[in-house]
Amino acid sequence: MPKKAASSSKAASRKKFLATTRERLLEMKNKLLGEIQTELRAEREGNKDEGMDTYDLASEERDREINFILSDRERLKIQQIDDALERLEESSYGVCESCGLEIAEERLLAMPFTRLCHDCQQEQEKEARSQRRFDDERNTYRKLGSTDVDDDNA
Ligand SMILES: [Zn+2]
Question: What separation in Å is there between the alpha carbon of 8 and the centre of ligand 1?
Answer: 22
Residue pair 81/25 in contact (Cβ under 8 Å)? The answer is yes
Nearest alpha-carbon partner for 21 in 98, 133, 100, 107: 107
Question: What separation in Å is there between the alpha carbon of 6 and the centre of ligand 1?
Answer: 23
pLDDT score recorded for residue 51: 52
3-state SS string for the chain: CHHHHHHHHHHHHHHHHHHHHHHHHHHHHHHHHHHHHHHHHHHHHCCCCCCCCHHHCCHHHHHHHHHHHCCHHHHHHHHHHHHHHHHHHCCCCCECCCCCCECCHHHHHHCCCCCCCHHHHHHHHHHHHHHHHHHHHHHHHHHHHHHHHHHHHC
Query: What are 23's strand-pairing partners?
Result: none
The CA distance from 80 to 144, in Å, is 43
Question: What separation in Å is there between the alpha carbon of 66 and the centre of ligand 1?
Answer: 36
Question: What separation in Å is there between the alpha carbon of 93 and the centre of ligand 1?
Answer: 13
Question: What separation in Å is there between the alpha carbon of 24 and the centre of ligand 1?
Answer: 24
pLDDT per residue of the chain (154 residues) written in tens, 0 to 9: 555 566 788 889 999 999 999 999 999 999 999 988 888 788 777 765 545 555 555 666 766 766 666 778 888 899 999 999 999 999 999 999 999 999 999 999 999 999 999 999 999 999 999 998 888 888 887 777 655 555 555 4
Question: What separation in Å is there between the alpha carbon of 102 and the centre of ligand 1?
Answer: 8
Residue pair 107/62 in contact (Cβ under 8 Å)? The answer is no
Question: What separation in Å is there between the alpha carbon of 122 and the centre of ligand 1?
Answer: 9
Question: What separation in Å is there between the alpha carbon of 125 and the centre of ligand 1?
Answer: 13
Question: What separation in Å is there between the alpha carbon of 94 and the centre of ligand 1?
Answer: 10
> Residues near 101 by Cβ (< 8 Å), separated by ≥ 6?
95, 117
Nearest alpha-carbon partner for 88 in 65, 109, 113: 113
